[in-house]
Amino acid sequence: MREPLSLDGVAGWAAAEAAGSDALREFYERKLKPAAERADASPAVRGQRAMAAFQLMDAIAEAKGLAAARAFYESELKSPADLARAPESVSTQRAIAAFNLLDDLARSEGLAAARAFYESELQIPAEREDAPAEMRARRAMAAVNLANRIGKKEGAEAARIFYDSELRAPTAQETAPDAAHTQRAMAAFNLVKAMLDTQGLAAARAFYESELKNAAECAGAPDGVALMRAMAAVDLANGIAETQGVSAARAFYETELKKPADRAGATEDLRSQRAIGAFNLLVDFAASEAAAPTLAFYRDELKEPAERADAPEGVQTPRAIGAVNLLDLVATAEGLDGARTFYESELKAPAERAGAPEDVRIKRAIAAFNLSVDYAKSRGLGAVLPFYASELKAPAERARAPDDVRTRRAMVAANLAVAIANRQGPDAARGFYESELKAPAEQADAPDDLRAMSMRVKSALGF
């Protein structure tokens, strides 16, 4: 196994690096370059020279601009990499440097200049039989970026033509590295989004079927390909819901998001995308369907996956967001008591489990805030105070409570302080303010929003 290249052991490099680009270049020219150009230089020495040249190129670009950096690249990275039997490490550093320069060229000189540079410095070297995997991967990464730029300037069809030649064709080779397949899938995902905007749902869906679904379902497909397929499926499900209705969108969700995520060994990312798709559909259900089918969809597609023992945070959080969104629907259908029961089981209980994600705890606080407003409107101060104490104050005072939880508690406390002042007088409000706003705001780690709220209430009530 080869040792990874490093400049840490090169005496004098760290000091030169700290002294700036001029000192760095002087050290490179005096020590690293001559050693690498000796006839008997080892691959490790030549690789160290290439790594140093890459770092120096970035320093030159920052200090002297793109033209100087490109000239340095030509002589110190491209030329050594083009020599016969150049070590793989030298070719790899050249590819990384070319990739970095490409974006700078695109920004400063435009798409045509960037595309010409890509063809000579990434496409041609990557198509050599002995091209290392990292070079081919960098070529694919650069092609993704160029496809995006082409799409923005020349339209989705021009981007697709570029995609076919620069991403799809290279990955058809049996030796294409996984990274190239993943980059091709990333470009395909971007094209699905562009086609949805410019060519419509049918064109985007057909492209998805041929370029993402089929690729993701091939044996041995990299996880990154499956993820890009799922992300595109989320976008397509949204488009289907808008144009064909929630039933058609659900059928698509079942085959394109739920089924892959339910397979044994499905990645956390894949399961999280299924949860995002389910949340989006829940919003559509709530807007177009009655409470019963909406709640049934929530239970089957958000709650059940989130309560599995191995549910990742990306699955638990969309469930919590969905539950917050459903509170009004439940309150309308079942009244405030029904909404409280729903909150207890769907937001409070998950948030109080050991290891609950921070976002789930925050969504519980948002729901408690919303319910406190409903309690105040319908049942008065006497009902909202105990709810505040158990559902906002207690969670906010726990060790390592998220700032957003503490701030939501303060928002309700601010409303209550004003209500107490109006009903019971300033003395009663002062006591509540002292314990529920002033004391939390004086804690060393109090969030800025909490402190500001305390000051606003103090000013409003004349304390």
DSSP 256-269: IIIHHHTSTT--HH
Helix, strand counts (H, E) of the chain: 30, 0
Four-point Cα dihedral 166, 167, 172, 174, nearest 10: 100
152 token code pair: 């923005």
**Helix or strand run (H / E) with residue 342:** helix 313-343
Give the whole-number percent of the chain exceeding pLDDT 70. Answer: 98
Quote the tokens at residue 299: 């239970």
Helix, strand, or coil (residue 215): helix
Amino acid (one-letter) located at 261: A
The amino acid sitting at 323 is A
385: left (phi over 0), alpha (psi -120 to 50) or beta: alpha
pLDDT in tens, 169-226: 998 888 888 999 999 999 999 999 999 999 999 999 999 999 999 999 998 899 999 9
Q: What is the pLDDT of residues 330-375, one digit of tens each?
A: 999 999 999 999 999 999 999 999 999 999 999 999 999 999 999 9
Q: What is the mean pLDDT of the chain?
A: 93
Residue bearing the bigger pLDDT, 200 or 130 = 200
Calculate mean pLDDT across residues 114-129.
94
Instruction: Flag whether pLDDT at 1 surpasses 50.
Output: no
Residue environment code for 83-119, b if the CB has 16+ CB neighbours within 10 A, otherwise e? eeebbbbbbbbbbbbbbbbbebbbeeeeeeebbebbe
Those residues with Cβ within 8 angstroms of residue 462's Cβ, 6 or more apart along the chain or in another chain: 426
Determine the length of the chain. Answer: 463
Residues 226, 183: contact at Cβ < 8 Å? no
* pLDDT (0 to 100) of residue 433: 95
What tokens appear for 301 in the block? Answer: 């597609």
Residue type, 208: Y
Q: Rounded to an integer, what distance in angstroms lies between the CA atom of residue 131 and that of residue 170?
A: 12
